[in-house]
Amino acid sequence: MSELWKMTAVEAVARLKKKEITPLELVEASAHRMAEVEPSVNAMPTLCLDRARDHAKALMAGQRREAEGEAGWLAGLPVSIKDLTDVGGVRTTYGSPIFADHVPAKSHPLVERIERKGGIVMGKSNTPEFGAGGSTFNEVFGRTRNPWNTSLTCGGSTGGGSVSVATGEVFLAHGSDHGGSLRRPGTYCSTVGIRPSAGRVTRGTSNNLYSPQSVQGPMARNVADLALFLDTMAGFCPEDAMTFDAPAISFSAAVANPVLPKRVAITMDFGGKFELDHEIREICLKTARRFEELGCIVEEASPDFGPVDEVFMAFRAQQFVVDRELQIEQHKDKIKPDIIWNTELGFKQTTRQLAWAERERAALYRRMGAFFQKYDLLVTPGAPTAAFDVMLRAPATIAGKKLENYMAGSTLNSAITVTGSPAIAVPCGFDSFGRPVGLQLVGKPRGEAALLQAASLYEKLLGLDRLLPIDPKPGTVPPSSQR
C-alpha cells in the first residue's frame, strides 16, 4: 500500500469510486511519502494528518458525500493547499512572521468547495511571503527545494504545491497565480499548472474584488489530473463577484476527447520584447515546433504586446496597496523589502498613470482577440531561465543581463496575465545540466477546455509526464546560476 502515491489522480479516483482502495489508505500512503521526502524538499511545512484521517473516515462511513456524482468529485483524494489560503483549524501563515501562529477558524470558500467535492487536505504547501516572488522561501519555514536538484529553486509562488505533486506527497495541489505563480513552478519542476481565466475559480475573500490580476487554480503531474482538479474548483461563488457557472461539459470530458488546434503561433521573446537564456530559447523553439508532428500549422508570430511590463507593474503595485498598505503601517519591520518596494510603487502612482494602464490593457485585450481570430494557440517559453540557486530570490542574470527588480524574471508570464487569457505550463525537456524546461501554452479567454486539449495532445507526444513522481535528487548549482 505504500506505493499508492505513484498513481495518477485520475487512476486513484477511479479506484476510490470502485472501492478497490479507501480514502484512509491513500491518506496513510500520502503521510508515509511525506515523511520520506520532506527532509529533502520542505514543500509541506504544516501538516494536518489527524484532520485528514477524520475526513477519510467520514467519507468511508457515507458522510460528506453531497457532491458525489458532480464533475470534479475526488472521492477521498489527498491534496495540498497553498499557505496563502485558509484551512479551518490549521495553522495558516501566508509565509509571514506577522501570522506565524495564525490559526483561522473557517476555511476559504475554495477549500470548502474542494472538501465538499471529496478532496482531503493533507496540509499547507510552502510559499514566499504573501506569495510575492519567483522563489519559494520565507522567514517562517525557510526554503523549498527543487526535487530534480535540491540545490535549486522550485520557483514561486506555488513552489511548495508544485514540489508536493512532483514528489508524490499528494495527488493534486492548489495554488494561485498573479505573475506566473502556477506556471513558473510547473516549468521548474516538470509539473503542469494552469492559470485559469479570471472568474473561473473563486478567490473567495479577495479585497481586490474586481481585479483580474490574481487567480486561484490547480497543479498536477499530468493534464488529465489537472483537468479533474479544475473541475473540482470551477463554478460560481456568491463571495466572489467575478465568478461564473462551471461549463456544461466538464474539463475532464474535454480532455478525454481532445480536438487538435489547427493553427499554432510560437514566439520566444514576444517580438523581441523580453530576454531569455540562449539554451532555453533553443530548447523551447525546437520543442514548440513539435506541434507540427500532431498535424498543426505552426508559424512564428506574436501579438503586439505594447508596454505590457509597465502595465503589469502598475496594476500589481495597485493591488499591493490594497492588500498590504495597512500591514506595512503596522508591521513594516516584519515585511520583506520586495513587498515594501512594490507597495510604495503604488503609493507613488497617479490616477493618470492608472488610467493609462487601463487603456493599454484594454487595447492589448483587443489585439489578442484579433490575434486569436487567426490562431488557436500561442506558445511561448515557460520561463526565461532554468531553475537557479535556491539561495537566491531571483536569477542573477537573464541572457547575461542583470535584473532590475525581483519581478524581472517573470515577464514572460506576467505579460500573459495582462491579456486575460488562460495559460498552462507544460514540460518540454531538460537543459544540459538536467534542469526541467517548459512551455507556456496560451488560449483564448475562457478557453480552458481547448487549452487543456492542446496540452493533453502535446503531453502524449512527449511523454514526459511518465517521469513523475520522482525521489528528490541532490546536486550542485550549474555555473550559469552562480551568484
Residue 257 burial by CB count (10 A; 0-12/13-18/19+): exposed, middle or buried?
exposed
What Cα–Cα distance (Å) separates residue 259 from each residue in 21, 311, 357? 33, 34, 36
pLDDT at residue number 482:
39
Average pLDDT over the chain reads: 97
Type of residue numbered 71: A
- Residue 483: pLDDT band (50, 70, 90) is very low
- In eight-state DSSP terms, residue 446 is T
Angle at 17 between CA 121 and CA 460, to 5 degrees: 80
CB contact at 8 A, 311 and 414: no
The predicted model gives 227-248 an average pLDDT of 98
Strands 423-430 and 192-195: antiparallel
- Domains of the chain: which residue ranges? 4-481
- Phi/psi of residue 172, nearest 5 degrees: -145, 150
How many whole angstroms separate alpha carbon 448 and alpha carbon 227? 9
SS3 state of residue 416:
helix
SS3 state of residue 382:
coil
Regarding pTM above 0.85, the answer is yes
How many whole angstroms separate alpha carbon 369 and alpha carbon 337? 38
pLDDT single digits (tens) 343-394? 999 999 999 999 999 999 999 999 999 999 999 999 999 999 999 999 999 9
Q: Which ranges constitute the DSSP H helices of 375-410? A: none
pLDDT at residue number 479:
87
pLDDT at residue number 1:
61
pLDDT single digits (tens) 207-227? 999 999 999 999 999 999 999
Query: Is the pLDDT score of 25 beyond 50?
Result: yes
Q: Which ranges constitute the DSSP H helices of 42-155? A: 49-60, 109-116
Query: Is the pLDDT score of 132 beyond 90?
Result: yes
Look at the block and give the residue holding cell 520557483.
155
Residues 6+ apart with CB under 8 A from 343: 317, 320, 321, 324, 325, 328
pLDDT at residue number 231:
99
pLDDT single digits (tens) 46-66? 999 999 999 999 999 999 999
Q: How many Cβ atoms sit within 10 Å of the Cβ of residue 1?
A: 11
Q: How many Cβ atoms sit within 10 Å of the Cβ of residue 99?
A: 20
- Phi/psi of residue 195, nearest 5 degrees: -90, 105
How many whole angstroms separate alpha carbon 440 and alpha carbon 454? 12
Grid cell at residue 47: 501538516
Look at the block and give the residue holding cell 477521498.
76
Query: Is the pLDDT score of 188 beyond 90?
Result: yes
pLDDT single digits (tens) 289-341? 999 999 999 999 999 999 999 999 999 999 999 999 999 999 999 999 999 99
Determine whether domain 4-481 maps to CATH 3.90.1300.10: yes
Look at 287-296, 396-405, 447-456 and tell me which has the smallest mean pLDDT.
396-405
Q: How many Cβ atoms sit within 10 Å of the Cβ of residue 465?
A: 21
pLDDT at residue number 58:
98
- Residue 481: pLDDT band (50, 70, 90) is very low
